[in-house]
């Protein structure tokens, strides 16, 4: 029904609770760089969760991942395309994974944002493999979760070597 990057009427997304979440509360409707806008939209949600005890934060992140598999798959079915570029719930979860255990400082959040976007955009192996070979809601979520893991490891290294000073 829609091409992967085709503009979808906002009312079609905003009027459907599943697609509203999958499109990151509408942030995925950005005409350029919807993944970047989706990641930016995830920051306030992250800041709300950042002070949770780490086990609770990790459970929340896992629940967001599991819900995302269903949300992204279902929204893709509704739109008639499996991985529409505006589906950005995976960016929310990727950022949450990146920032797991990091301080909720401006430096850490900005560095985590940049690192996650770099891994998500350039997709080094195995992220590129997952992106091309795992389909449906799991495929949408999995490559960003792995990008979040890589970005999180890089952020951890930067924080613990003192290179960021956060």
pLDDT tens-digit readout, 29-55: 999 999 999 999 999 999 999 999 999
For residue 3, being part of any structural domain is answered with no
For residue 165, being part of any structural domain is answered with no
For residue 23, being part of any structural domain is answered with yes
Domain that holds residue 78: 10-160
Question: Cα 26–75–121 angle (5° rounding)?
Answer: 65
Least confident of 53-57, 78-82, 155-159: 78-82
Calpha distance 140→129 (Å, rounded): 12
For residue 149, being part of any structural domain is answered with yes
Contact (Cβ atoms closer than 8 angstroms) between residue 115 and residue 155? yes
For residue 5, being part of any structural domain is answered with no
Provide the whole-model pTM: 0.94
For residue 40, being part of any structural domain is answered with yes
Contact (Cβ atoms closer than 8 angstroms) between residue 97 and residue 45? no
Contacts of 85 (CB under 8 A, 6+ apart): 4, 5, 28, 34, 35
Calpha distance 143→148 (Å, rounded): 9
Question: Cα 92–95–97 angle (5° rounding)?
Answer: 110
SS3 132: helix
Number of domains present in the structure of the chain: 1
pLDDT tens, position by position, 100-120: 999 999 999 999 999 999 999
For residue 134, being part of any structural domain is answered with yes
For residue 1, being part of any structural domain is answered with no
């Amino acid at each position: 029904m829609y091409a992967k990057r085709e503009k979808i009427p906002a009312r079609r997304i905003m009027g459907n609770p599943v697609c509203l979440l999958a499109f990151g509360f509408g942030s995925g409707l950005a005409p350029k760089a919807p993944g970047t806008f989706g990641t930016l939209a995830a920051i306030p949600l992250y800041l709300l969760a950042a002070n949770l005890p780490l086990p609770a934060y990790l459970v929340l992140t896992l629940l967001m991942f599991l819900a995302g598999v269903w949300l992204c798959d279902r929204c893709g079915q509704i739109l008639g395309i499996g991985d529409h570029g505006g589906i950005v719930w995976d960016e929310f979860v990727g950022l949450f994974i990146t920032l797991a255990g990091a301080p909720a400082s401006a430096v850490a959040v900005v560095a985590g944002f940049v690192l996650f976007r770099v891994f998500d955009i350039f997709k080094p192996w195995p992220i590129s493999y997952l992106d091309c070979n795992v389909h449906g809601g799991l495929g949408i979520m999995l490559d960003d979760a792995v990008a979040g893991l890589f970005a999180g490891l890089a952020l951890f290294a930067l924080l613990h070597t003192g290179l960021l000073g956060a």
